[in-house]
Amino acid sequence: MKRWWSLVGKEWRGSWTVILLALAATIGFDTWLAIKAPVWSARINGGLAFGLSFIPFVGMGIAALVVGYYTMRNEWRDRTSLQLLSYPVSGAGILWAKLLVAVLGLGLITVVATVGTWFVTQRSSIPYSTIMSATEDILRLTPWERTLDIIWMVVCSILGTAFIVAVGLFSFTIGTIVPRISGLIAVIVYGLTWYLTFAFAPHAMYAFSFVPNPGLIVYTGLGPMAARKVIPLLPFWPTIMGTVILILIAGKILELEVDA
Amino acid sequence: MGISFDESVPIYTQIMKSVLWDVATGALLPGDKLLSVRDFAKQAKTNPNTVQRAYAELERMGVVETQRGQGTFVSASPEIAREVRSEMTTAAVESFVEEMRRLRYSDSDIISLVSQQLAKTGTNSSNGAAQNGPSTTNDHDGGVQ
Amino acid sequence: MPAIELTDVHKRYYRSHALRGVNLSVDRGKIVGLLGPNGSGKSTLLRICAGLASPTSGKVQVHGQDISIATKAITAYIPDIDSFYSWMTVRQAIAFESSMFDDFVLADAMDLVRELKLDPDNKISSLSKGQRGRLKLVLAMSRRAELVLMDEPLSGIDPPSRTAILETIADRYRAGEQTIIISTHEVLESEKLFEDVIFLSEGRIVLTGEADQLRAERGKSLNEIFAEVC
């Protein structure tokens, strides 16, 4: 375990310049928006700054899609893959370490971006209290239901990010099987994996509907006859299983053969 | 220790020869400590096992003795040193004579060649300083007891 | 129990047959030279023993076990190419290596760093090729690894560094406890280090034996024998 944490430390040390850059960009952007927000609220639209403050989140989404691939590719580009796999660690262990650091890094930037958005909202003409009461009026959530929903959304983003990163890690690793066209194979596998994910997500959700699943609590309308539903943002168990399976398979492939 | 190895000849025999030569010339006196296996290997950039083998052979011959934890020492007995010197001498003389005979010199020619060379290079001193004519005060036992 | 045992090992890549039926048993506790020209399969053989590649067919065992995390823990592998994290400093590289292996001795590492004239706070990206070669050696020889695999440790290295590397190997090698396999095609300088030698050509072993015995039998240096058989 100590070795694994050392791997995590190495991943973190190798990534923190990129993370710092992204943090700086996010803080800079949100600060600029916060400065402009009152002006825009008065002249153009109250919701403009608020809307634009979601750009960092889009950036995070794109980053999540590619970080898995790139963190592996860097090992191959720098030939450090040889050193890494000569260590007494499992292939899966190496991938879990990369996954953890990627999720933590993205999570950190997301938190900062969220704070930034909140800040921007404060300075726009859409008061925070309006949004919050809207959830009560429109969604008719009690405070504890709202809290649960927020927790569930956070869990979903973490799980979802982990799965997205895992797909990237998996695709690159499969690509290494045929070194000459590794990039091509990686892209094909990447596309295929996502296709299969969406194709079989409903089946997976059905299969796991027989076990307890967390979900988002919503009310389907206003009035006393509104139904209370719990909808999953993400299929909880399938996502976890999918992530684990992708990492385990990729790990085994790393242990079999490493090129540089 | 400036051995230069001939890589076409077994290394361990060359190591042995180098030690024997040092004993014969008095560079290593009875009781002197040999370089440790590791130091020797490091200086010569050679395999410590090979050095160990050479030392073991020398110990089998009685030329050196290993004292546990202390190192390898030249045998304290002066007879051993004399024996080594005499064996090296015999080997050197035999090899020289054979070579001269292969060059087809007669015995008397060989002797005069030797005398001439001795005269040219002066007394039997280790730094081979040139002197005027042959010296008559040679102590042929040199520095070896 | 041999240090390494290969039984009828074949390794095929898409266009090449790198190892063709290699049968090999390397005794423990010796420095062994793996000699062969470029492309003879030396690197492939070492990578398989280090667990970085799997044979297409045949069996490989280290200390009587199949290659696994356990065998990697007792193996020190120096690849022929540079595989450092260039953002690390020398000190960080040592610390990282130390965290990966239980048999790493930090004191030895700092000793060697001083002996081999490396600056601990230099970034690896700023090191010369010779310095990187020396650092590779520090990482491998600071361990009590039972098996050390060196792939072309002298290749492309400046002469003073080569001398330093050879001296360090001779000095730090723990005779009888460690098995060191050094692959090279530059036989001249390193041949005095080898107790046993294996000559590899085009993926096949063409000759093995004890170095001094081969010298006695053939009256030639290993370099000359190398030129003959490979």
Alpha helices (H) along A44-90: 46-52, 55-77, 80-85
Tell me if B5 is assigned to some domain: no
Give the ipTM of the model, two decimals please.
Answer: 0.91
Where residue A23 falls among pLDDT bands split at 50, 70, 90?
Answer: very high
> Which of C173-200 are b and which e, b meaning 16 or more Cβ less than 10 Å from the residue's Cβ?
bbbeebbbbbbbbebebbbbbbbbbbbb
Touching subunits for chain A (3+ Cβ pairs under 8 A) = C
Write the pLDDT tens digit of every residue in B89-111: 999 999 999 999 999 999 999 99
Tell me if C94 is assigned to some domain: no
Tell me if C223 is assigned to some domain: yes
User: Do B104 and B116 belong to one domain?
Assistant: yes
Residue C58 has pLDDT above 50, yes or no: yes
Q: What does pTM read for this prediction?
A: 0.86
Tell me if B54 is assigned to some domain: yes
* Percent of chain A whose predicted confidence (pLDDT) is above 90: 51
User: Do B61 and B101 belong to one domain?
Assistant: no
Please compute the mean of the pLDDT values over residues A104-115 and round it to a whole number. 93
Write the pLDDT tens digit of every residue in B42-78: 988 899 999 999 999 999 999 999 988 888 999 888 8
User: Do B66 and B116 belong to one domain?
Assistant: no
Stronger pLDDT, A43 or C222, i.e. the higher one: C222
The pLDDT of residue C76: 96
Tell me if B127 is assigned to some domain: no
CB pairs under 8 A between A and C: 66
Write the pLDDT tens digit of every residue in A182-202: 889 999 999 999 999 999 988
Residue C204 has pLDDT above 60, yes or no: yes
CB contact under 8 A, B8 and C215: yes
Tell me if B1 is assigned to some domain: no
Q: What are phi and psi of B70, to 5 degrees?
A: -105, -35
Write the pLDDT tens digit of every residue in C9-55: 999 988 889 999 999 999 999 999 999 998 899 999 999 999 999 99
Residue B30 has pLDDT above 60, yes or no: yes
Please compute the mean of the pLDDT values over residues C183-202 and round it to a whole number. 92
Domain count, chain C: 1
The pLDDT of residue A167: 96
- Measured between CA atoms, the residue of chain C closest to residue A3 is C100
* Chain B residues closer than 8 Å to C173 by CB: 41, 47-48
Facing residue for B42 by CB, picked from C31, C171, C211:
C171
Q: What is the CATH number of the domain that holds C222?
A: 3.40.50.300
pLDDT, averaged across chain A: 87
Tell me if B112 is assigned to some domain: yes
Q: What is the CATH number of the domain that holds B70?
A: 1.10.10.10
CB contact under 8 A, C170 and B8: no
Tell me if C189 is assigned to some domain: yes
The pLDDT of residue B145: 37
Facing residue for C170 by CB, picked from B6, B7, B45:
B45
CB contact under 8 A, C100 and A82: no
Tell me if C158 is assigned to some domain: yes
Stronger pLDDT, A21 or A40, i.e. the higher one: A21
Residue B44 belongs to domain spanning: 11-77
* Percent of chain A whose predicted confidence (pLDDT) is above 70: 91
User: Do B18 and B67 belong to one domain?
Assistant: yes
- DSSP E strand stretches across chain A: 216-219, 228-231
Tell me if B85 is assigned to some domain: yes
The pLDDT of residue C57: 93
Please compute the mean of the pLDDT values over residues A211-231 and round it to a whole number. 76
Indicate the domain borders of chain A: 2-256
Residue C100 one-letter amino acid: M
Question: Does residue C46 contact residue C140 with C-beta atoms inside 8 Å?
Answer: no
* Chain C residue set in contact with A, beta carbons under 8 Å: 14, 47, 50-54, 69-70, 72-73, 75, 77, 79, 81-88, 92, 96, 99-101
Where residue C216 falls among pLDDT bands split at 50, 70, 90?
Answer: very high
Question: Does residue A169 contact residue A99 with C-beta atoms inside 8 Å?
Answer: yes
The yes-or-no reply on A/C contact (3 CB pairs or more, < 8 Å) is yes
Q: How far apart are CA A189 and CA C146, in angstroms?
A: 40
Write the pLDDT tens digit of every residue in A74-96: 999 989 999 999 999 999 999 99
Tell me if B133 is assigned to some domain: no
Minimal CA separation from C16 to chain B, in Å? 35
* Chain C residues closer than 8 Å to B12 by CB: 212
Q: What are phi and psi of C217, to 5 degrees?
A: -65, -45
Residue A139 has pLDDT above 70, yes or no: no
Tell me if B137 is assigned to some domain: no
Residue A133 has pLDDT above 80, yes or no: no
**C-interface mutation test, from A1, A6, A79, A87, most C Cβ less than 10 A away:** A87
Closest CA to B15 of B41, B94, B60: B41
**A-interface mutation test, from C100, C132, C152, most A Cβ less than 10 A away:** C100
The pLDDT of residue B129: 46
User: Do B65 and B88 belong to one domain?
Assistant: no
User: Do B89 and B43 belong to one domain?
Assistant: no
Q: What are phi and psi of A213, to 5 degrees?
A: -130, 135
Q: What are phi and psi of C68, to 5 degrees?
A: -160, -175
Residue A225 has pLDDT above 90, yes or no: no
The pLDDT of residue B143: 39
The pLDDT of residue C92: 95
CB contact under 8 A, A82 and C73: no
* Chain C residues closer than 8 Å to A10 by CB: 85, 96
Please compute the mean of the pLDDT values over residues C99-123 and round it to a whole number. 94
